[in-house]
Amino acid sequence: MEPSQATVKKRPNWLKVKALYQRGEGSCRELAQRFGISESSVENKCFREKWRVEKKELEEKVKEKVEAVLVDEATAWVRDTIKRGWQARKEIDEAKAQAASPAIDPAMQDALSRVEARFDDMVRRALGLPDSPQEYNHSGEVKHSFSHELQDEIAQDFNRLKEELSVFRGAQ
């Protein structure tokens, strides 16, 4: 007598179960329910084949790659910011040399001093340096961190600085 189709058990697709587990798409219990197999079978397979160890190693590799990409992006941004900063510093120094002339209006000299102070502030923020001691945490580390918001803010500051310098040059 042949067993009927209803009594024949299908073997689970263990490769698929393992892949889902390692991608974090279900616990052993959830995957057992999803594939219609016993939780103990999934747990035993997971233990014998060291799925947890492999999952942790995979997560670590992904984390390292993501961190490397973020570091590369941050490095490129810092390199660009420093380059733009040096250019702005050069322009400020040139404007200051011109403003030292007695023929330059004192109000324009004050405006240039404000531009220079904003530049210094911008550089501090771009490098993550605090404006005051209150911006350090209890262990002495700076509270802020690199972020896209900071990138945008610094880019806007560069644009404003450039506008202020052009206004200064136009008034001379």
Residue 98 shares a structural domain with residue 162: yes
- 130 plus 78 within the same structural domain: yes
Extract the tokens encoding 88.
């702005």
Same domain, residue pair 19 and 87: no
| pLDDT score for 36 | 93
Say if 57 falls within a structural domain. no
Q: CA angle, corner 20, sides to 68 and 47, nearest 5?
A: 95
Q: What digits encode the pLDDT tens for the residues 113-149? A: 777 777 777 777 766 666 654 444 445 554 445 556 6
- What share of the chain in percent tops pLDDT 90? 26
Domain count, the chain: 2
Structure tokens at 8: 């024949």
In this prediction, residue 84 has a pLDDT band, given cuts at 50, 70 and 90, of: confident
Question: Is 55 within a domain?
Answer: no
Tokens of 42: 């999934």
Mean pLDDT of 145-164: 66
For the chain, what is the radius of gyration of the CA atoms? 31
Q: If you search the block for the tokens 């993550």, which residue do you land on?
A: 128
Under 8 Å CB-to-CB from 63, ≥6 apart: which residues? none
What is the rounded CA–CA span in Å between residue 67 and residue 65?
5
Which structural domain range is residue 149 located in?
Answer: 74-171
Question: Which residue type, as a one-letter code, is found at position 129?
Answer: L
Q: Are 84 and 130 in the same domain?
A: yes
User: Does residue 10 carry a pLDDT above 90?
Assistant: no
Query: Is residue 111 included in any domain, yes or no?
Result: yes
pLDDT beyond 70 at 95: yes
**Whole-number pLDDT of residue 119:** 74
**So what's the pLDDT on residue 133?**
45
The CA angle 106-111-115, to the nearest 5 degrees, is 145
What is the sign, positive or negative, of the torsion defined by CA atoms of 118, 120, 121, 126?
A: positive
Cβ atoms of 119 and 92 closer than 8 Å: yes
End-to-end CA distance of the chain: 105
Cα(91)–Cα(110) distance, rounded to whole angstroms?
16
pLDDT-wise least confident of 24-33, 84-93, 99-108, 138-147 = 138-147
Q: Record the pTM.
A: 0.46
Q: Are residues 95 and 158 in the same domain?
A: yes
In a domain, residue 147? The reply is yes
Paired with 136 in beta bridges are: 142
Query: Does 158 reside within a domain?
Result: yes
